[in-house]
Amino acid sequence: MTLSTRLSAKPAITGLIVALALITALAWAVGCDGDSETSDPNSEETTDEAARDVSTTEADFEDREALVEQARALVEQLARGEYAQAHGSFDEQMQAALPEEQMSGLWESLEQQAGVYEEIVDTRTSVEQEFRVVYVVSQFRDGPIDVKVVFGPDGRVSGLFFLPVGADESRSEKAQGYNPPGYVVESSFSEEEVTVGAPDWPLPGTLTLPEGDGPFPAVVLVHGSGPSDRDETIGPNRPFRDLAWGLASHGIAVLRYEKRTKEHAQRAAEQEDFGVDEETVDDAVSALELLKAREQINGDQIYVLGHSLGAFLAPRIAVQAGEAGVEPDGLILLAPAARPLEDLIYGQSLYLAELDGEVSAEEQAQLDELEQQIGAVRQGDKTAEASELPLGVPASYWRSLEGYDPLAVAGQLDQPILALFGERDYQVTEQDESAWRSAFADEGRVHIEQLANLNHLFMSGSGPSSPAEYEQADNVDLLVIQRVSAWILALR
């Protein structure tokens, strides 16, 4: 789960990968404004019908071979630091949106998170809302990244995106590759499409309803950081679909939705004061409002289930939802961090650097640079450019977290809280779990549990966890479904 938006001349947010985020969900997107609703293939105006028109299978167009070579050359230029040559392939709007002097920071931030670039391993093409697109599958130390190069009608680059491999598949294509876990009873629930969010930020969503008349207890799923879809898709895995279908099989309704930074990536990037409220909190409150208005839902049993960043922000969501008159009846926290994000960033980066048993000189240099950037955050430097801050995330985002302590806010709440941690989670670690335990050692309303063998996705495995593990198809462990459903049903 990461935060990804388009770089522009305004302050922008590039791939936020923290210990809350899934490394392989890293995505940066760089594009340009257009003159029509369909000028940006990833714009907020994309409808479900348009989404079905997106093809990420190999597509033919007249100059396909030449554009594939141009896209490959662009990636190689970026990897060699030939930013002037790469910048020269952009159209005018892209050149304005991504000045040449910012390109080194973009690529360095990518390598800081995905590891050193190694080679191009594959390409594929598609036509997306009449744009010709080349995906250059590029191998980095920690896994492959789709470099999505969008070409305008003049054959120049009009959009550049860094995505987890397969992240731009249409929803129908994603569904085809999904294998439901054994604990799902598909005949026990139905699903309907809904719209979450404020009128100016509509988010397509899915409400999963158990069979029967209800009213049912219900859960809102809140994503980790990054441009997640409603299934919180990472590689071949769909953890939020596992949770929705698994809990619905136990008689619990579940609402999940596309995240604002995915559905409205371009507009989110253009906001000058974009922070965690705009990224996550506001839409979670809107989701609670939707559930409160549904007659099939028990209005006295509506819960927020946050994963990673969503768990970190869940206490904040509860407070703001209360102010809006839709206070949740409890919080379910999957991998809730207790430390500031900048501490998690460094801890995760150090873990990955040490994973092979040795920190190289290049890795140490990246860690040293990261420490300097974290120092700027801690000093509250409001004038620092995004390139001077961790992972290229602008000052507005860090300002939105100033003074936020999830433990302190959770301590002011009255609701019951269930906090689950994965034993093998290298992103939200035992240090965070210990802090939660210490803060609520004497509070019976808070139940904290570590689940053996589970990683950050709450999927089972063995040995040290790594980003590569997220590319292995699996499902959320049955124990998670059992713990969450039993906790909710016991509160009736």
Find which of 37-41, 171-175, 247-251 is predicted with most confidence, using mean pLDDT.
247-251
pLDDT of residue 177: 67
Helix/strand/coil for 327: coil
Helix/strand/coil for 238: coil
Whether the pLDDT of residue 170 is over 80: the answer is no
CA distance 211 to 191: 10
pLDDT of residue 430: 96
Of the pLDDT bands very low, low, confident and very high (cuts 50, 70, 90), residue 167 is low
CA distance 458 to 181: 13
Q: Which amino acid is present at 476?
A: V
CA contacts within 13 A on the Cβ side of 336: 30
Residue of 64 and 475 predicted with greater confidence? 475
**Phi–psi pair at 396, nearest 5 degrees:** -60, -35
Helix/strand/coil for 90: strand
Instruction: Give the residue-averaged pLDDT of 128-157.
Output: 85
Structure tokens belonging to residue 392? 């290229």
Q: Are 167 and 233 in contact (CB under 8 A)?
A: yes
CA contacts within 13 A on the Cβ side of 151: 25
Q: CA-CA distances (angstroms) from residue 287 to 20, 248, 293, 303, 323?
A: 22, 17, 10, 11, 15
Whether the pLDDT of residue 405 is over 90: the answer is yes
Whether the pLDDT of residue 27 is over 60: the answer is no
Of the pLDDT bands very low, low, confident and very high (cuts 50, 70, 90), residue 172 is very low
Instruction: Give the residue-averaged pLDDT of 322-335.
Output: 97
Residue of 467 and 71 predicted with greater confidence? 71
CA contacts within 13 A on the Cβ side of 253: 27
Number of helices (H), then strands (E), belonging to the chain: the values are 18, 14
Range 28-166: architecture per CATH: Roll (3.10)
pLDDT of residue 409: 98
pLDDT of residue 45: 38
- Helix 478-490, helix 239-248: angle, nearest 10: 50
β 330-334/417-422 pair status:
parallel
Whether the pLDDT of residue 43 is over 70: the answer is no
Residue 455 CB neighbour total at 10 angstroms: 23
Instruction: Give the residue-averaged pLDDT of 154-158.
Output: 89
- For 184-215, what is each residue's pLDDT tens digit? 999 999 999 999 988 889 999 999 999 998 89
Of the pLDDT bands very low, low, confident and very high (cuts 50, 70, 90), residue 52 is very low
Instruction: Give the residue-averaged pLDDT of 77-102.
Output: 87
Helix/strand/coil for 229: coil
Q: Report if pTM > 0.95.
A: no
Whether the pLDDT of residue 279 is over 90: the answer is yes
- What phi-psi label fits residue 325: left (phi over 0), alpha (psi between -120 and 50 degrees) or beta? left
Find which of 343-347, 360-364, 410-414 is predicted with most confidence, using mean pLDDT.
410-414
User: Domain residue spans in the chain?
Assistant: 28-166, 174-341+396-490
Whether the pLDDT of residue 392 is over 80: the answer is no
pLDDT of residue 53: 38
Kindly report whether the peptide bond that precedes residue 210 is cis, defined as omega within 30 degrees of 0.
Answer: no
Whether the pLDDT of residue 44 is over 70: the answer is no
pLDDT of residue 50: 35
Kindly list the catalytic residues.
Answer: 308, 425, 456
Tally the residues of the chain. 492
Residue 150 CB neighbour total at 10 angstroms: 22
Q: Are 137 and 71 in contact (CB under 8 A)?
A: no
Q: Are 456 and 427 in contact (CB under 8 A)?
A: yes
Smallest CA-to-CA distance from 432 within 347, 314, 331, 339 is with 339
Q: Are 194 and 285 in contact (CB under 8 A)?
A: no
Of the pLDDT bands very low, low, confident and very high (cuts 50, 70, 90), residue 48 is very low
Q: Strand runs (DSSP E) across 129-202, as ranges?
A: 131-140, 143-151, 157-164, 189-196
Of the pLDDT bands very low, low, confident and very high (cuts 50, 70, 90), residue 12 is very low
Instruction: Give the residue-averaged pLDDT of 381-399.
Output: 81
- Helix 361-378, helix 100-114: angle, nearest 10: 110
β 157-164/28-30 pair status:
antiparallel
Whether the pLDDT of residue 31 is over 50: the answer is no
Range 174-341+396-490: architecture per CATH: 3-Layer(aba) Sandwich (3.40)
pLDDT of residue 168: 55
- For 216-264, what is each residue's pLDDT tens digit? 999 999 999 888 899 999 888 999 999 999 999 999 999 999 999 888 8
Q: What is the mean pLDDT of the chain?
A: 83
pLDDT of residue 3: 31
Structure tokens belonging to residue 64? 């396909």
Whether the pLDDT of residue 169 is over 70: the answer is no
Residue of 14 and 459 predicted with greater confidence? 459
pLDDT of residue 489: 92
- For 119-132, what is each residue's pLDDT tens digit? 999 888 888 766 78
